Amino acid sequence: MCGILAVLGVAENSQAKRSRIIELSRRLQHRGPDWSGLHHHQDCYLAHQRLAIVDPTSGDQPLYNEDKTVVVTVNGEIYNHKELRKKLQSHQFRTGSDCEVIAHLYEEFGEDFIDMLDGMFSFVLLDTRDNSFIAARDAIGITPLYIGWGLDGSIWFASEMKALSDDCERFMSFLPGHIYSSKSGGLRRWYNPPWYSEHIPFAPYEPLVLHKAFEKAVVKRLMTDVPFGVLLSGGLDSSLVASVASRYLVDSETACQWGSQLHTFCIGLKGSPDLRAAREVADYLRTRHHEFHFTVQEGIDALAEVIYHIETYDVTTIRASTPMFLMSRKIKSLGVKMVLSGEGSDEIFGGYLYFHKAPNKEELHKETCAKIKALHLYDCLRANKATSAWGVEARVPFLDKEFINVAMGIDPEWKMVRPDLGRIEKWILRNAFDDEQHPYLPKHILYRQKEQFSDGVGYSWIDGLKDHANQQVTDAMLANASFVYPENTPTTKEGYHYRTIFERFFPKNAARSTVPVGPSVACSTAKAVEWDATWSKNLDPSGRAALGVHVAAYEEKTKAVADAPAINGSPGK
């Protein structure tokens, strides 16, 4: 994962301005510690901090077309770059970088090429022939991007807020699936899949189609010229990613370079549920497993650094980001630069435990659509920035465009939790990989119930954070929170504490406005209460609001899943 900074239309063109842009670009150096570059043309600057994953020797950025009239700075990976190169045979490529295709696609197709890209990306492209430019962000917002405006009329783009927050009067998160064009002067959405309108789909559930789409999504993300691994919590999503990746490695070109044994990584407090579950999965898959431990105090000590890097004060995001941040540092120390992770599955399949209360398929589908659209503010932000803080790139197969289209095109009745039919949350995903002859995972792992990540690393983690916040924030401070923080007023001492740290790094109104109002993506408390009023008794913003779903009888029901009714085209309406 790289860091980009583009400043376009500056009023002052001087050595001092160039030095300032270099200084701001260095704030992103953690994202790209391998090399840095800067292109200056008239009143435009494109800066880049590179993390070399594909073509480490010649893929330095910014990248260019043949005569260097088109310049592009990119943060991301284009998985279909080899196929795209075949459509650009009249063009001469300078590097083996997957991102160079962007400059040539623009030459060939103009601004309408973006939907041809299969990958995760944020980029800024400058056409020096008329000094026009475009900026774009991937479909779901896996890679971060911010847009800002200076008092001198300049427009800024940066991978992280810290590179533009001091010099822009106003800035905001760049919307996923959108393009900004200087010619039209505004944002427009380029990503328009069928599910985006939230119309209820009616395609039947076909296990093999879903299975193949996910396998393809995992395999394409093994495109790398550096050591890699999988973040393995032992839950369904990360375990499936690890299982598919380990199978592919056996006979792949990647195995010739890095070996056929997959590396897996997990972190937790000693004795945590994740550590036990991940070890069991790793033993089954025979991966080279790396288990890291941290203490509650070590996590608390890292909070300020975590908030600086992830740039949010959302409570559940910080809870989950801290262990991931600590783990990424350990992973980097092993020489690993890229990892696969399981984000996105719960949003697509309605996997959070409050989905048990969804009253009908229409409500469930609309909620999954809303969750996917908000991922860039929560789980994508966490996964990207917590790993990029240490120069590690996280790839997320569940958020593959093609896979999302397949999964979101299925009649949502199949995603409903139906205990009477032996269907638990994410049943269609579990069922698609329930292979009796060549099992991907043992049954009890394949049908293991979800554990919230911030709880999975150790049940005392959240309690420890709350205790720490109680020591830092008095009752009087919380009582006056609405006067101190009238926007997005914190309602708990934990939230107040995080907000105080955030404001220290990012004091502008624009900065606090980049953090969304309301409950996080992990558990929509408002939606849960709407579906079942009894949930109003527990308003913790994490999935703990769903603890009532964890009943002893639940595990007994899952044991009978293998004997559930066969799939005969009816979702059991």
Flag whether 570 is in a domain. Answer: no
Flag whether 569 is in a domain. Answer: no
| pTM reported for the whole predicted model | 0.93
Select from 162, 177, 192 the last residue of a domain: 192
76: left (phi over 0), alpha (psi -120 to 50) or beta: left
Select from 148, 165, 192 the last residue of a domain: 192
Co-location of 446 and 515 in the same domain: yes
- Collect all residues with Cβ–Cβ distance below 8 Å to 291 and sequence separation of at least 6: 266, 267, 275, 278, 279
Q: Find the radius of gyration of the CA atoms of the chain.
A: 23
Co-location of 241 and 315 in the same domain: yes
Instruction: Give the domain extent around 148.
Output: 3-192
User: Residue 411: how many CB atoms within 10 A of its CB?
Assistant: 17
Co-location of 276 and 383 in the same domain: yes
CA distance 304 to 24: 20
Residue of 2, 99, 168, 523 marked catalytic: 2
Give me the phi and psi of 471, to 5 degrees please. Answer: -80, -25
Domain count of the fold of the chain: 2
Q: Is the dihedral of CA 439, 445, 449, 453 positive or negative?
A: negative
Co-location of 175 and 202 in the same domain: no
Co-location of 163 and 200 in the same domain: no
Co-location of 214 and 186 in the same domain: no
Copy the structure tokens of residue 460.
Answer: 């005392």
Flag whether 473 is in a domain. Answer: yes
Give me the phi and psi of 133, to 5 degrees please. Answer: -150, 160
CA distance 89 to 97: 16
Co-location of 164 and 227 in the same domain: no
For the stretch 95-98, contacts whose Cβ atoms lie closer than 8 Å and that sit 24 or more positions apart, written own/partner, are: 95/55, 95/58, 95/59, 95/60, 95/63, 96/54, 96/55, 96/58, 96/59, 97/54, 97/55, 97/58, 97/59, 97/61, 97/63, 98/54, 98/55, 98/223
Co-location of 344 and 323 in the same domain: yes
pLDDT tens track of the chain, all 573 residues? 799 999 999 998 889 999 999 999 999 999 999 999 999 999 999 999 999 998 888 778 999 999 999 999 999 999 999 999 999 999 999 999 999 999 999 999 999 999 999 999 999 999 999 999 999 999 999 999 999 999 999 999 999 999 999 999 999 999 999 999 999 888 999 999 999 999 999 999 999 999 999 999 999 999 998 899 999 999 999 999 999 999 998 776 766 666 679 999 999 999 998 999 999 999 999 999 999 999 999 999 999 999 999 999 999 999 999 999 999 999 999 999 999 999 999 999 999 989 999 999 999 999 999 999 999 999 999 999 999 999 999 999 999 999 999 999 999 999 999 999 999 999 999 999 999 999 999 999 999 877 655 567 878 999 999 999 999 999 999 999 999 999 999 999 999 999 999 999 999 999 999 998 765 545 566 787 788 877 666 656 665 555 455 543 334 434 444 444 445 444 443
User: Residue 458: how many CB atoms within 10 A of its CB?
Assistant: 25
Co-location of 77 and 60 in the same domain: yes
CA distance 515 to 502: 11
CATH number at 31 reads 3.60.20.10
Flag whether 568 is in a domain. Answer: no
Flag whether 573 is in a domain. Answer: no
Co-location of 178 and 128 in the same domain: yes
H or E stretch covering 438: none
Residue 534 pLDDT:
76
Q: Give Cα separations from 530 to 88, 355, 358 (angstroms).
A: 52, 12, 9
Flag whether 135 is in a domain. Answer: yes
Question: DSSP character for 325?
Answer: H
CA distance 554 to 542: 21
Flag whether 201 is in a domain. Answer: yes
E strand residue ranges, 308-389: 338-340
Co-location of 56 and 86 in the same domain: yes
Select from 176, 192, 208 the last residue of a domain: 192
Sheet-wide strand order for 3-8: 35-41, 44-50, 3-8, 155-158, 146-149, 170-173
First CA to last CA distance, the chain? 44
Query: Is position 380 annotated as part of the catalytic site?
Result: no
CATH number at 419 reads 3.40.50.620
Flag whether 9 is in a domain. Answer: yes
Co-location of 168 and 223 in the same domain: no
